[in-house]
Amino acid sequence: MRSRVSSLPFFRGISPDTLFQIFLGSIAVLSVLVLAALLLRELIVGAMPALSAYGVEFLFSAEWNPVLSEFGALPFIYGTIVSSLLALLIGVPLSLGIAVFLTEIAPAKVRAVLSPVIELLAAIPSVIIGLWGIFVLAPFVREHIAPLLMEHLGFLPLFRGPAYGYSVLTAGIVLAIMITPIISSVSREALLAVPRLQKEGALALGATRFEAVTGVVLPYARGAIFGAVMLGLGRAIGETMAVTMVIGNSPQLFTSLLHPGYTMAAVIANEFTEATDDIYLAALIEIGLVLFAISMVVNIIARAITWRYLRVQGGS
């Protein structure tokens, strides 16, 4: 008893275990909750000049002309949304195909080799994917993919020429490549969480693999798969370097995916060090605030879903 309490005057009578808990708890609160609060606060304070100067108009104006102090975030919000949705459009079917292949079709050996290889893609830094995007993908899109799309779907405004290599389409493809590992690996977990009985029950009734997967497995796992898609969306929205390097960085409300666009993250990356006056900087920080808010909402939804469906309550 005597030796088990602190002898420091301030902490007299408090057991070391309580001190330990308080110490770790303070660090946890400080380095996570306070950090999150500080992040939000700094963004709001930093954006304040722009917030008060332009109000809500900021979000809906398409004029971005720093020289004239005209700041409207619409082209960036629009570009972010379109490129992210395009990434989902390409990436989600691909990811689900991979997830089904790795859980239901591939032999164990193939699976053991392929799944870490696909996750390797997630380890490659964004700037390097951007580098590859500039020198390999963008020329390929300009010379092969875009002409093909223009020839067959050119009647749609979405695929109207002229074709640029640095385009929303290229950005969408790059983003799809980047979100595929996360969506496929979380979906894979979701598929693995489907009780064997469910699937085997369907197969025992004479269903083909296609029927068992689409009729039983995917519907069972759809909640968690939706979470996986949201995680991918969150990543696409916030992705900076790879997009900045291939999207063309032109603040316009494009209609053709073959034309350049701009995203919120890209404009911050490009113009932050060039922001010569306070209002310009504040406008960029406000774009950061909007980006932060959107990606946090998407992430909270994603985490809430994946926690609900996939998180095993481990430990004590």
Partner 1 sequence: MESKIEVVELNAGFGSTHVLKNISMSIPRNRVTAIIGPSGCGKSTFVRCLNRIHELVPGAWVRGKVLLDGKNIYDSDVDPVDIRRRVGMVFQKPNPFPAMSIFDNIAYGPKIHGMKKGLERIVEDSLRKAALWDEVKHRLKDSPVSLSGGQQQRLCIARALAVEPEVILFDEPCSALDPVATAKIEDLILELRENYTIVIVTHNMQQAARIADYTAFFLMGELIEYGETAQIFENPRDKRTEDYITGRFG
Partner 2 sequence: MQARKLKDRLFTAFCIGSTLLALIPLGSMLYTIFVKGFSVISIDFLTKLPAPAGEPGGGFGNAIQGSFIVVGIASLIGIPLGIAAGMYLAEFPGSRVSRVVSFTADVLTGVPSIITGIFAYLVVVLKFGGFSALAGGVALATMMIPFIVRTTEEAMKLVPRELREASLALGAPRWRTTLEVVLSTARFGIITGVLLTIARIAGETAPLLFTAFSNRFWFDGVMQPVATLPVMIYTYAISPFEDWHAQAWGGALVLVAMILALNIGVKLAAGRRW
Task: Give the residue among 71, 57, 78 at the shortest CA–CA distance from 252.
Answer: 78
Choices 49-57, 193-201, 202-210, 221-229 (CB under 8 A): range interacting with partner 2? 202-210
The residues in 257-316 that bind partner 1, with binding defined as CB under 8 A, are: 316
Q: Does residue 94 touch partner 2 according to CB under 8 A?
A: yes
Choices 55-63, 109-117, 148-156, 252-260 (CB under 8 A): range interacting with partner 2? 109-117
Least distance from partner 2 to the Cβ atom of residue 117, Å: 7
Q: Does residue 300 touch partner 2 according to CB under 8 A?
A: yes
Helix (H) / strand (E) containing 65: strand 64-65
The residue (of 1 and 56) whose beta carbon lies closer to partner 1 is 1
1 binds, among partner 2, partner 1, none (CB under 5 to 8 A by kind): partner 1
The residue (of 22 and 156) whose beta carbon lies closer to partner 2 is 22
Tell me the two tokens of residue 287: 């774009």
SS3 content of the chain, % helix, strand, coil (to 5): 75, 0, 20
- Amino acid at the residue 110: V
Largest CA distance in the chain: 86
Distances (CA, A) of 184 to 61, 65, 138: 37, 40, 25
Q: Looking at 185, 235, 248, 254, which residue binds partner 2 (CB under 8 A)?
A: 235
What is the spatial distance between Cα 314 and Cα 194, in angstroms, rounded to a whole number?
Answer: 19
Are residues 197 and 181 in contact, defined by beta-carbon separation less than 8 angstroms? no
Q: Does residue 52 touch partner 1 according to CB under 8 A?
A: no
Least distance from partner 1 to the Cβ atom of residue 316, Å: 7
DSSP 3-state of 311 = coil
Tell me the two tokens of residue 124: 């490659």
Task: Give the residue among 256, 263, 306 at the shortest CA–CA distance from 284.
Answer: 263
The residue (of 273 and 316) whose beta carbon lies closer to partner 1 is 316
Choices 65-73, 141-149, 150-158, 308-316 (CB under 8 A): range interacting with partner 2? 308-316
Least distance from partner 2 to the Cβ atom of residue 82, Å: 17
Q: Looking at 4, 109, 196, 311, which residue binds partner 1 (CB under 8 A)?
A: 4
- Tokens 């951007």 correspond to 130
Q: Does residue 107 touch partner 2 according to CB under 8 A?
A: no
Q: Does residue 135 touch partner 2 according to CB under 8 A?
A: yes
If one counts every other C-beta atom within 10 angstroms of the C-beta of residue 38, the result is 11
Q: Does residue 221 touch partner 2 according to CB under 8 A?
A: no
Binding site for partner 1 (CB under 8 A): 1, 4, 316
